[in-house]
Structure 1
Amino acid sequence: MTSIPSLGLGTFRLQGQIVTNSVLDGLELGYRSIDTAQRYGNEAEIGTAIAVSGVPREDIFLTTKVWVDNYPKDRLADSLEESLARLRTSYLDLTLIHWPAPNCGVPLEDYMIALVDAKEKGLTRRIGVSNFNVSLVKQAEAAVGKNMISTNQIELSPYLQNRKLVEFLQREGIHVTSYMTLAYGKVLEAPVINAIARRQLATPAQVALAWALSLGYSVIPSSTKREHLASNLLAQHVRLTREDMEQIAGLECNCRMINPDGLAPEWD
């Protein structure tokens, strides 16, 4: 089974023709991993972009996330069937539980087992979680088995390095996927990042993405501008030095950008 690509195209907050154009540009530039979610409300537009792109479906790694309303066991698989119809595909490469939503009324064990059932039906080739803390990942592992969870997609940036959670995931053999790696652009203003960018003859965004890639994470940055999409791809060729990595490690300040009430856990 294909491993989770290291650099993908995020689509959070992109709607309508904007997301269609972004995915079309990304696929033309060479992106082969696309990340979406039921909650984003853009699966149909992404499906259209993939269909008209000319890129074979088997060459694309497609991820979506199940929204909280669809966690009940009698809804989860049906909701993925609906996602597949919108995305114009017969399978997903990866499906994640979007948020743990501790007070949603559906026990974690129930929705994780329902997700496994969806996998066994062939709706998705891999399953995982998003925004889970250490305790919740342990509960998910207990529910479905330690080898079933492919990734935990979590907010990570030079300003939020989440070391305790990352170290746990890596010990467990669960891949780390970083979202919000640029912290809504805030890390691009950091003097340390800019100094490294000048030394590396790179952009600050490339440096931040290269930091995450160097740590073994997958990243899924988004952009509405073709030139930024192209530039982000080049982060894969930036080789940060040990000194660069140490300096970026010093930027940790627990600056979390996404923390919705009722959905987020108590963070480690």
Structure 2
Amino acid sequence: MSTIELTNPAKKAVIHRMVMPSHTCPYGLKAMDLLRRSGYEVEDHHLTTREETDAFKAEHDVKTTPQVFIDGRRIGGYDDTRRFLGKTVVDPRATTYRPVVVLFAVTALMAMAASYAVSGNPFTLRAAEWFISFSMVVLALLKLQNVESFATMFLNYDLLAKRWVPYSYIYPYAEGMAGVLMVAGALTWLSVPIALFVGTVGAASVFKAVYIDKRELKCACVGGSSNVPLGFVSLTENLMMIAMAVWMGLGAIGAVPSPHMM
């Protein structure tokens, strides 16, 4: 009695990608990894010179590399390959809350880690203070990566910046300085008024633009190149600054317990 062994032929793909002494195409590497993780055996062809690359593009009438072929059919580049394999392709113009979700998650973990290092307990009142002040510092840092781009976006909706343009450049420095001072619990007489002022103006500006004027704008809260929609997130940022300023102000006059004194 004979046994017939049935085997599935391996899925095969051919990729042509730039691999030069001074440049290796990152999308080529990503496409190869994607294909291999999807169960394809990849036949890898390197385009090692600019002339070879230009000739390949002209031959196949394409503008970019890498180019993937499966069963003799040209699939296209990295994004086209993702679509062919049924995977999502991120639209760089689409609005998203991912940057702020990641930011607040990381600053919360940082605050709990710092609290644990100091007191052995990650869930303390000091951790809550650090969460807000760390968030202020990181938000300021993102704005300061490109102050010009931030200022341009900020001028779309901030009430004070529209009247006095230099404020759009001052804002991220003021937010960052207030955040650093609040982390240290130092110079409360300076950090509290700054946070209270910029937070109040910011909250009023966002509320007017979004909830009264009903404008659809991008938020400058995580920098000038973000696709985060203006609204709840930016309002939360400003309300957090106001809350922190009020809390620390009350702590400074002894109206509430201050973790800095513990």
Q: Which has the higher contact order (CA 8 A, sep 6+)?
A: 1
Shorter-chain TM-score: which interval?
A: under 0.3
What TM-score, normalized to structure 2? 0.23
